[in-house]
Amino acid sequence: MASTSVPLTLPVLPLDDEVVLPGMVVPLELSNPEVRAAVEAARAGNAGGKPQVLLVPRLDGSYAAVGALATVEQVGRLADGDPAALVRAVRRVRIGAGTTGPGAALWVETTPFKESDQGLPVAGRALELVKEYKALSTQWLRRRGAWQIVDRVAAIEDVGELADHIGYAPFATAEQKLKVLLEADRPARLEYALGLLREHLAEEEVNDSIRKDVEEGVAKQQKEFLLRRQLEAVRKELAELNGEADTEEEDYRARVEAAALPEKVREAALKEVDKLERASDQSPEGSWIRTWLDTVLELPWNERSEDAYDIAAARAVLDADHTGLADVKDRIVEYLAVRKRRADQGLGQIGGRRGGAVLALVGPPGVGKTSLGESVAKAMGRSFVRVALGGVRDEAEIRGHRRTYVGSIPGRIVRAIKEAGTMNPVVLLDEIDKVGSDYRGDPAAALLEVLDPAQNHTFRDHYLEVELDLSDVVFLATANVLEAIPEPLLDRMDLVRLDGYTEDEKVAIARDHLLPRQLAKAGLGGDELTVDEAALRRLAAEYTREAGVRNLERSIARILRKVAAQTELGERELPAAIGPDDLRALLGRPHHVPESAQEPAERRTAVPGVATGLAVTGAGGDVLYIEASLADAETGSTGLTLTGQLGDVMKESAHIALSFLRSRGAELELPVTGLRERGIHLHVPAGAVPKDGPSAGITMTTALASLLSGRKVRTDVAMTGEVSLTGRVLPIGGVKQKLLAADRSGITTVIIPKRNEADLDDVPAEVLERLTVHPVSDVREVLRLALEPAGVLVAAA
């Protein structure tokens, strides 16, 4: 054989979509004209020794730049009789320019292929690669059962030769083998081959695991099937020996008799078992009866949780979970105290009824109504289950579907009892004011029996059609708008108002509950980030003006997310502290600036004819501005124009206010004589929001009086109250919510009706300390307190 350093001229034997690496011995069919031409040319040009050809990979129609010099070992026929040549790849050579030679084959000039560390001893990283490749290769060959090749691979010591052994691997693609062929760095070549081997072994392990799991699952199913069939056969033989017929119907009868069911329920269940025994196997009634029996047997008819009679511990649980909400906490503690005393005295049910409770928690969003249910259940030691009623319009959702319908199921109340696992859980009826009604019935009417303590001990679900005792259940109903709850339903519940939190309570809630929870969600530790109480206070006052704390929690979460992102980007180091001055950079400018903090020219009441009122919305109390303007006499416009999407009651208040001022103009020293020739426009901003109610009467009167007199309304004054034609200030509702809204908005003086003075007892003491409240009974007192003295140009801050 010629020296490896001498250029050679060889006939080209192209390999379509295949690569042969040095050291490989492969058969090639001579039926391919190009293969036959190359072999014949090699044999014709052979001056001595074995004929030589150049094996060149041809992928996607293009030849590779490197090929394998191969010797034609033998020419003969394959087992099927086709002619073939056996060639052995010897070494890599680089392909040069084409030339001429004997035969029809393509001849090319070749140059030696220079490899790195050729002839150097194996050491260092290369030695580690050799050991790992041999180990993995041995593992793969043994999995394939190729034991005769294991020793051959173990005897290879050359790094390049070992790497080229990957050419025999069927899992290696032609592109991957070509990369091995082109690689001049022998350790890098072995490392790449090792990576291919690793990936293949990992895939095989996953496939083996999946195949094993499937085989085990199939074997288990087959075994279970055979055992069950054998068990059925044994039971059948035993039943025949004893003269009995062990049927599914008798199994239901045994379950009913063994279950601890109330007497009437047991009788109804046994009647259904009798029907099941008489029904044929093909009758659909059988499946309905089985489903009904399963439902009855799964209900916890005699399961009850033991109430936690440690009253102090129950109150501690409520205080730990929620800040504020004293009314509902007191009501739960009172309920437990009465239950404890009755238990101590050995008193049981009263007229078949147990001591349940039905509470309606009404308040704006975000004050903790829903989360309070879980705390109540924890404090009482009972199971808790939530029933979402928002958008429910089908009466059957509450009372269940009758069994005559296909797919009928029990109502939500029965399903809640089943889910709780006891007959005395705490059931939260969430968003009861969002229940609707249509042609399918009125779900609110279906709740009348559920929430009536005098009736719910005999509640009957349409699906069960047996009495279910709900008198020991504690029902907590939540609502945002009291007026949306039907009066008969509201009459059956103890009403507890949650009117929103004061600023101090919000800060405490944020510090004790919201911040720790959001720190955990953001992956930050309490020792890594602290938020000053002053920052929390500013967050509650200027960024989230609301009755609850939902937006406050969102703002805290946004701050923590920004801090986490800044930390990962290297813009901030931990531990860190967030102060009030950091909020603008993290959240932007404040969204709610108190009226008193603005410049005099920017204030809403900086011009005559604008007064500040107080209102109650579904989101709690709010500040309402009422604006009045007088048309020019030359326009010819007359009468009263009202805008701002006002309801009928609010429109009537505007007419009453105008009539009072017209009739008392001289007494109040107001120029009302020209009102008949000039039109008056009364507007309440936020025109897209519907507004109604009589409580803006004195605010409208004050705005009109300010317009006619030219005296501005004091910036720090807000008011609420209904007005009569004689100027009397009549009582209104929602005093606590309105005063909380005034305090949040920076108002310092509030005017309320005299007859609402008793409602101040419900207002937190710290709010009353910040507010100056004037109970009044006449509009004249309102004007005296609200209007600036004549000649004052700018209201005092």
Which residue ranges are tagged as binding site for ATP? 363-370
Q: Which residues pair with 112 in a beta bridge?
A: 93
Query: Residue 86 in contact with residue 74, Cβ under 8 Å?
Result: yes
CA distance 83 to 118: 38
Cβ neighbours, 10 Å, residue 644: 18
| 174/18 Cα distance (integer angstroms) | 5
Task: Tell me the C-alpha distance between 629 and 609, whole Å.
Answer: 7
| 425 neighbors 378 (Cβ within 8 angstroms) | no
Catalytic annotation present for 555? no
66-to-55, 57, 181, 200, 513 alpha-carbon distances in Å: 9, 8, 7, 26, 71
Q: Which residue in 621, 512, 500, 622 sits closest to 556, CA to CA? A: 512
Count of other CB atoms within 10 angstroms of residue 212: 10
Instruction: Please report the DSSP string for 145-181 in residue order.
Output: T-HHHHHHHHT---HHHHHHGGGG-TTS-HHHHHHHH
Q: In the chain, how many H helices and how many E strands?
A: 27, 25
Tell me, rounded to whole angstroms, the distance of Cα 323 from its chain centroid: 25
With a CB cutoff of 8 Å and minimum separation 6, the contacts of 787 are 702, 705, 706, 709, 711, 712, 713, 714
* Catalytic (active site) residue 738: yes
Q: Considering 695, 706, 709, 745, which one is annotated as catalytic?
A: 695
Question: Can you say which residues are annotated as belonging to the binding site?
Answer: 363-370
Please give the distance of CA 462 from its chain centroid, rounded to a whole number.
34
Catalytic residue among 177, 506, 712, 738: 738
SS3 labels along 566-583: HHHCCCCCCCEEECHHHH
Backbone angles phi, psi at 459, to 5 degrees: -65, 135
**Quick check: 480 and 385 in contact, CB under 8 A?**
no
Q: Where are the alpha helices (DSSP H) in 590-749?
A: 648-663, 665-668, 697-709, 735-744
For the annotated catalytic residues, the residue numbers are 695, 738
